Structure formats: structure tokens, C-alpha cells
Structure 1
Amino acid sequence: MAIALSEASWDELWEESWERAYCADSMDECDQIIEYPQQLGQGYKRNIELRNGIILTLHNYRFHDDLTVISTQSEATGEPYRELEFVFNLSSTSRYWQGDYVTSGQHYLVAHGCVGGFYCQELAKQPKLAVDIHLESAVFESILGNSLDILPLDLRQMVESSDRSLMSAFDTITPAMQLALEQILHCPYQGVLKQMYLESKSVELLVLYINQVQSNSRITSKIRLQSDDVDRIHEAKKILIQQIDNPPTLLNLARQVGLNDRKLKQGFRQVFNTTVFGYLHHYRMEKARQLLLEQRSISAIAAAVGYASPTAFNAAFRRKFGTSPKAYQLASRI
């Protein structure tokens, strides 16, 4: 059985869990254990506020059932706020708003803006074990010494943009990252020594992340594609279009066209100037807009373009076009 929650219901459950939070370290009141809502799963999140402005969140839990959380927030409230969330997923499978799957051994960055909802589906197949680094954009810039120009353009835009939530492409956790993550999860210290140790390890992870995206950027700019590679990339695009309602994972797509996943990712961006799932998302939205003009039902259109529910489709369409599917459809009748 799958469970679907609105963002408000999700927040309400977590507020109850926060009321029962307790210290994991008697020498550090900024190290809190928050047990997972029993209705949803077993396990906990551990939040550790560090002195350098970073918050570490250690996830260790298992869901009873697949869980979908949907937000349709479309307007900013309060003061502008920009948080970066570096997610290192050691075990679990999740699906996000563009249909992308993140699996064990992958990491990604989410830049949370003031505007835009989200869609996230957590699968109950595996226990969730992950380390998140949360920090405000200003903190990240200060760690870099205000040298954002060392970042690839797409990453720099994620850090600087504040009007919507953005997500990076998924990449592989390297052996060096894996070691730093294990050291964080098994920190041998308490009190101020723990703070110093985790501060250094969190910055180390950021260094490894930036080094990886810089390397990927250099590789992408230099990749050479043979004519056969280009044909295979175009075939991958055709498969995405044909299977829009249930697209393959990136790894399965690469296997179907006879490329490794890295060449498919880099080559697809080079040929079509977008990521594989960025293209899929754009195609889905354009297809949905066409179907809306044909006055089909919202639920039928959501299913036709591969969304698990009309609510998830509504949130994605609003993010893309700034209006709801229903409002767009009604306007087209005038």
C-alpha cells in the first residue's frame, strides 16, 4: 500500500516528533534525535547544528510503505531565504518531481528557493541511510571565500538564484566521499571535539563535491562523440518519448541504446543542451499543454504524461508555466 501526504500533513507529523526530540550527546544540546513518525516508519533523523553554520542531518530509518509527499506552494512568504541541501544517499531509492530516480551510492544538490512546490516519492524497498549537509547560500559563499567563480556555471546559478527550487543532476559517491561519510556516521568524539571533527568532515565533503563537479564540467566540455554515439543518443530520446508515462531509469536507458550511463548523460547534454530527465520533463509539460488544449480531463492528462497523481502533475505544471492546468485550460476556451 502506498501513502500520499500533503506538505501540511507531513509538517504536522514532524512537529509532533520534534516535541519528543532528545539529545544524542549529553555534552552537546545542538545534537538532536528525532524519531520517525510511527505511522510512516521506524528509525530516526539526527540533526547536528555545527558552529560553522552547517547543519548535518543523518537519516537512518525504514518506511512501512511507499510514501509520496506533495507541495503545491506557489508564492513566497516572509523574508527571502535560500538554503542549499547536499544529499549523500548511501541506501534507498527515491523519485523526484521530474521523474528522476536516485539510488544507493548517489548524491545531488537541492537549492530551495522561495517559490515552487515539490514532489518526492520515497520507496520502502530499502532502509534509508543518508547524510545531508544543510547551509544557507551565504554560508556556502563564505566557505568559498566569496569565490563563486570557481564553480561551473550551472552550479553557480543554483547558488545565486532565489526565485525557485532547483535540483542538480545525480552523480556517484566517490570512494573519498564514502570514507568521509562513514567517519561522520561513526564519529568517535563528543562535545566540542565532535563539533570540530564534524565541521572539518562536512567541509571536506564540500571540497570533494566541488572538485567532482569541476572535473565533470571539464570532461563534458571535451567529450568527443562518434556518429554512432549521436545515433544512439537520438534513439534514447525516442525511447523517452515512447515511454513518457513510465520512463526507464538512466541506467536502463543507457543499456537499451548500448552506451554507458556517463556517456549518455554527457552526450545527451551536448546534443540537446539539456539533461536526459530535463528533456523528459520539458517534453511532458509541452505534451500536457497540447492535451489541455484538447480539453481532456486533468486526471487523464496526468496519467498520460507519467505523473502518479493529478496533484503531482498540477504542482509540476504550475512550476513550469506559472499557472494551474485547469486555469490554463479554461483560458484556452476564451
Structure 2
Amino acid sequence: MKLQMNTQNLDCIFEQFRDITLPSHQQEKYHHMYAIPIQSGPGYLQRICLRNGMEINWFDGKLYEPVTFDIGVLYPYLEIAYTLEGRGCWEAAGQTRSYDLSTGVSTLLYIRDEKLHAELSPCERMLHMEIRIDIRYLSELLPEIPNLSYESFFCRQTAGSPHISLIVEQMKRCPYTGTLQKLYLEGKVFELLAYHLDGAAKEEERTQAASKLKAGDIRCLHQAKEILSRTWRQPPGLLELARLVGLNDYKLKLGFKELFGTTVFGYVRGLRMNEARKILEQGKANVSEVAIMVGYHNLSHFATLFRKTYGYNPSEIGKASIFATDQACNTKESVHRRNKPIFFYQKDNL
């Protein structure tokens, strides 16, 4: 599938999709579902309009062939994206680098009068969320976002953040309907935006701090992060890690926090928690098995860290999953819903 278009507002992109909102949901003018013409597999897009110029889109589809998008954005547009499953890449015209779409990666993007090219790779499932904002309706945000007053493009990506993962999880599990659902989700949108903007400001501080580090130290710290990314189930101790990268333990601890905004142990814990949540959501193992799989032999300690990270116990995963398989029944609506993701239709969830 290839999609090419120019957009003047948030509505434009939906002109090429077919609205398949159920009759029983059409009274909810802010909540629509669209069929996306992906010939290689089924694809659905849920659109939740929170206010003028602000909406949440959830894409759920199976891709057996590459899908490409070329979209011109001709207005001031702000987006926060988060990929739960699937992979791809994208780039903006005239920019020197490309950006990944992959599990656990969140993106803060601002663009104005530029073109985007995106490619989604073939995969069993692509599950992706986008918060889309027309800045003309929320112009007060402009001073809070670096370089927007004179730049036409700004992008910052965050990978493996338990806090972002938690907010997205809360949005998926929204316990309200109607007006309360919109109010709750709008609050989560601003919470996620605040977290990204705070991260951008702290990244600028870390960049300044890193400029005080020697180039050789920075290379060693990146090497340490790389080692931890490969060995997080059984990572080396602090002294051993320092020896492996050629730093003393004091410089490793201090430099790692300055450069990456977290401690060595905090980075490992984040990787473990993300993997644990993913395995539990997929139903591949129980809590005790998952704890051991991600490097914890004390189940109570694992459960405590998981609860501190995500705000709920690991045993609660799956009980209110919005992506549960739809149970077959004989109603007309069920026939219409069959083989479609249930979260598009449940009133008590997204």
C-alpha cells in the first residue's frame, strides 16, 4: 500500500479511509473507527477526538507487505507517538537522519510545512498510538517546545521509558465512558506531553553536562550502556562494568547519570520491567516464571519493583486487557465485529 497526500488539518488523512463505526456508536461523534485499505492484511484505525485540534489515533493491523506513506504537513502539527508492536522507519524531507518505529519507542514530533516519508515493515501485527495536535488550537504550547518559534521540524525519541509505558497502559485501560472518558484521556495526553517536554529540557542539560566530559569518557559510557543493553538479565557488577569499559567506578556512576539521565541500576531495572510487562501481556508465562526470566529470584522484590514502576501488580495484567479476543456470539453486532480488535468497540475501554 502507498498513501500520498497533503494535509491542511487533522481531518485530511481520514478522507481516504472508510468509516465503519457501528450504528450503536455513531451518536458518539468524537469516537470513530476506520478501515484502512491495506491489501496485504486487515488494518483498522480508531479515532478519538478530545477537543478541537486534539485527538488520539490507535492503529491495529497485520502487515504482510511493506506499507509506505508520503504526507505533506502544511500546518503546525505536534505529535506524540508510541509503538506497542511492529516496526518501521520514517524521515522528514531535508533532514539528515531517519527515525525508528519499534516496540517501546515514543516520539515527540513537531513539523510545519514539511513532508514526511514513512515505511512500515511486514510483521504479524502493527499496534501503534498517535496523539495528534493542531497547534493552531493550542498555540500556548509553542513557547514550551524548543525551537518551534523559528524551526519547521523538531523530533526527540525516548526508548524503554517505564513512565511512558505506564501512561499508555492507563490510556488503554481507561475506566470511563462518554464525557468522563474524554476528560480522563485529555489529562493523560497533557501528562505525556509534560513528560516529553521535561525530558527535552533535561536532555539539553545533560548535553551541556556531557560537554564537560572528555570524548574518551563519553565513548566509554556509551560502551557501558551497550553492555547493559545486552546483559541486563545478568549484568556485570559496577566494578566489573567499570573495568570492562576502562573507567573507575566513581566516574562510571557520575558520568552515566549525567549522560543518560538515570543510574546504571535504574537503566537495568527499566529494561527488566519493560520485558516483564511485555511477556505478561502476551500471556507466555506466569508472574513467578517472568520474575526469573528477567533476572529476579525474589518474587516479592520483583512484584514491589513492578508496582512502583507501573502502578499496579504484575498479577493484574490481562484481567482488563483491551486487546482480549472477542468472544463469538449470535448478535448482529457480533458478526460485524468478528475478526476486528475488540478495543475499538468496548465502551468501558479504548
Mapping of 1:47-196 within 5 angstroms? 47-51=47-51, 53-70=53-70, 81-97=75-91, 98-114=97-113, 116-125=114-123, 127-142=125-140, 144=141, 148=143, 151=144, 155-157=145-147, 159-161=148-150, 164=152, 166-196=153-183
- Given the alignment, which residue of 196, 213, 216 partners 2:200? 213
- The 1:94/1:171 distance shift into structure 2, 3 A limit, reads same
Mapping of 1:1-334 within 5 angstroms? 5=2, 7-8=4-5, 15-22=15-22, 25=25, 28-51=28-51, 53-70=53-70, 81-97=75-91, 98-114=97-113, 116-125=114-123, 127-142=125-140, 144=141, 148=143, 151=144, 155-157=145-147, 159-161=148-150, 164=152, 166-223=153-210, 224-229=212-217
Structure 2, unpaired ranges of 5+: 92-96, 231-244, 247-251, 261-350
Is the Cα contact below 8 Å between 1:25 and 1:190 reproduced in 2?
no
| Greater relative contact order structure (CA < 8 Å, 6+ sep) | 1
Is the Cα contact below 8 Å between 1:86 and 1:133 reproduced in 2?
yes
1:110 is displaced (CA, Å) by: 2.5
Distance 1:203 1:130 in 2: 19
Q: CA RMSD in A?
A: 4.0
- The 1:52/1:204 distance shift into structure 2, 3 A limit, reads farther
Q: Which has the higher helix share?
A: 1
TM norm structure 1: 0.56
Runs of 4+ in 1 over 4 A off after TM superposition: 11-14, 21-27, 230-233
Match of 1:245 in 2: none
Distance 2:146 2:215 in 1: 32
1:14 is displaced (CA, Å) by: 5.8
- The 1:119/1:232 distance shift into structure 2, 3 A limit, reads farther
Render the CA deviation track for 1:224-251: whole Å, top value 9, x for unaligned: 4334246779xxxxxxxxxxxxxxxx97
1:52 is displaced (CA, Å) by: 6.2
Is the Cα contact below 8 Å between 2:53 and 2:136 reproduced in 1?
no
Aligned residues: 227
1:118 is displaced (CA, Å) by: 2.3
Render the CA deviation track for 1:144-203: whole Å, top value 9, x for unaligned: 5x7x2xx4xxx422x3347x4x24132125222212211212222211111111111111
Structure 1, unpaired ranges of 5+: 234-249, 268-334
